[in-house]
């Protein structure tokens, strides 16, 4: 923060700051006064804790107390354990599945909302998508539990048709319903904003040149919104990968995901270092996924 200086626009240079009529009162203290509190806050309550998390992966637990140390023991134990490896594979698989499902479901919907609906209806659709993003995910998962449980609403309705009862709750199906509840609104929103921003003349030009609609979507729209596709995919993956409540209530944490493993490790005792190893491993994997997405965005479309 030592080299703060205002953006040098031509007008500022002509005017010559500080403005005439003001005596030079030394360097502008405003950026320090504005920037320091927010920086201190984010370091104390975000960056600091995360760095500390990395540090304690090397610490030891002696008689239920954390002790500073420089040991790789936690890393080798956790990374070598079958439970962790299975959970990692399981979590990555369900997150990847949720990503593919969310994109496949969101794309046609986003296309209709952004390019086919009149603007009034479109604004309402967007409002209806923003609301669930910030309205109690736990409650919505609980609602699916009510619907999908053995004596639940879905089985009552299916029973009326002479089907079932089906074991809807507790498998891959219910888990994906839970994860899509979390991720679908966000995926649709990202794609709606991207498609809404595509230059309409591109679409018209393709149409005028005799392009059929499927080809317009495939050869014009999708390449134009590639960064948004990557953003939607990585956001979905990130949310599904880190989710705790969905797997907990939709599958009864069987098999456990990495988030469930973290909570169990922390709550069952004082194995903070091992829980931290799981957490840091998750962040590394998310970083790799994000990096891969960025490379994919940067590569030129052939």
Partner 1 sequence: MNASTSACVSRVCQRVWLALLFGFIAAPMLIIVVFSFDANRFPAIPWGGFSLQWHQAILEDAMVMEAFGNTVLVALSTAVLSTVLGFAAAYIDHRYRFRGKTAFSLLVAIPPAVPATILGMAMLAFLSRVGVFGTVQAIVACHVALATSFSMAIIRLRLGELGHDLEQAAWNLGASPATALMQVVVPFCKRSLIAAFFLSAAVSFDEFMVAWFIGGVHETLPVRILNLLQGQVSPKVNAIGTVVLAISVALVLLAQRFVGVRVGRPATTTGSETP
- Binding to partner 1 (CB under 8 A): which residues in 225-264? 238, 241-245, 249, 259, 262-263
Please write down the long-range contacts of 216-224, taking CB distance under 8 Å and 24 or more positions apart: 217/111, 221/111, 221/195, 223/301, 224/194, 224/198, 224/199
How many residues lie near partner 1 (CB under 8 A)?
A: 103
Q: Which of 24, 26, 82, 116 binds partner 1 (CB under 8 A)?
A: 116
Residues 77-106 that bind partner 1 (CB under 8 A): 105
Are 166 and 157 spatial neighbours (Cβ–Cβ below 8 Å)?
no
Minimum Å gap between C-beta 260 and partner 1 is 9
Q: Which of 81, 93, 135, 254 binds partner 1 (CB under 8 A)?
A: 135
Stretch that binds partner 1, among 74-82, 117-125, 216-224, 225-233 (CB under 8 A): 117-125
Q: Which of 49, 223, 252, 291 binds partner 1 (CB under 8 A)?
A: 49
Q: Identify the three-state secondary structure at position 239.
A: helix
27 near partner 1 (CB under 8 A) = no
Q: Which of 125, 224, 225, 228 binds partner 1 (CB under 8 A)?
A: 125
Euclidean distance between CA atoms 87 and 70, whole angstroms = 26
Q: Which of 98, 126, 190, 232 binds partner 1 (CB under 8 A)?
A: 126
Is 80 or 118 the residue whose CB approaches partner 1 more closely?
A: 118
Sign of CA dihedral 8, 12, 16, 22: negative
Residues 187-216 that bind partner 1 (CB under 8 A): 188, 192-193, 196-197, 213
Helix (H) or strand (E) holding 61: strand 60-62
Are 24 and 18 spatial neighbours (Cβ–Cβ below 8 Å)?
yes
Is 77 or 302 the residue whose CB approaches partner 1 more closely?
A: 77
Residue-by-residue DSSP string for 63-109: TTEEE-----HHHHHHHH-HHHHHHHHHHHHHHHHHHHHHHHHHHHH
Structure tokens at 158: 């299916």
Q: Which of 69, 79, 109, 211 binds partner 1 (CB under 8 A)?
A: 109
Are 187 and 195 spatial neighbours (Cβ–Cβ below 8 Å)?
no
**Contact characters 149-188, partner 1, x per CB under 8 A:** --xxx--xx----------------------xx--xx--x
């Amino acid at each position: 923060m030592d080299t703060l200086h205002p953006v040098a626009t031509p007008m500022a240079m002509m005017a010559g700051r500080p403005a005439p009529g003001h005596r030079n009162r030394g360097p502008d203290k405003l950026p320090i006064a504005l920037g320091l509190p927010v920086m201190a806050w984010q370091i104390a309550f975000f960056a600091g804790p995360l760095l500390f998390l990395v540090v304690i992966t090397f610490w030891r637990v002696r008689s239920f107390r954390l002790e500073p140390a420089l040991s790789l023991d936690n890393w080798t134990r956790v990374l070598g354990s079958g439970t962790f490896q299975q959970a990692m594979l399981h979590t990555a698989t369900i997150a990847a599945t949720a990503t593919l499902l969310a994109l496949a479901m969101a794309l046609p919907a986003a296309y209709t909302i952004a390019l086919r609906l009149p603007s009034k209806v479109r604004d309402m659709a967007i409002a209806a998508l923003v609301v669930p993003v910030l309205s109690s995910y736990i409650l919505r998962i609980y609602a699916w539990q009510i619907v999908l449980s053995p004596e639940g609403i879905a089985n009552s309705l299916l029973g009326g048709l002479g089907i079932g009862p089906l074991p809807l709750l507790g498998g891959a199906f219910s888990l994906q319903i839970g994860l899509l509840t979390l991720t679908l609104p966000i995926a649709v929103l990202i794609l709606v904003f991207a498609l809404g921003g595509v230059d309409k003349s591109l679409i018209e030009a393709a149409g005028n040149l005799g392009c059929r609609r499927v080809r317009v979507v495939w050869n014009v729209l999708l390449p134009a919104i590639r960064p948004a596709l990557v953003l939607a995919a990585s956001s979905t993956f990130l949310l599904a990968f880190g989710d705790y409540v969905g797997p907990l209530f939709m599958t009864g944490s069987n098999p456990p995901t990495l988030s469930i493993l973290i909570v169990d490790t922390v709550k069952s005792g004082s194995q903070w270092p091992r829980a931290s190893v799981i957490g840091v491993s998750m962040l590394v994997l998310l970083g790799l996924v994000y990096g891969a997405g960025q490379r994919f965005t940067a590569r030129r479309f052939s």
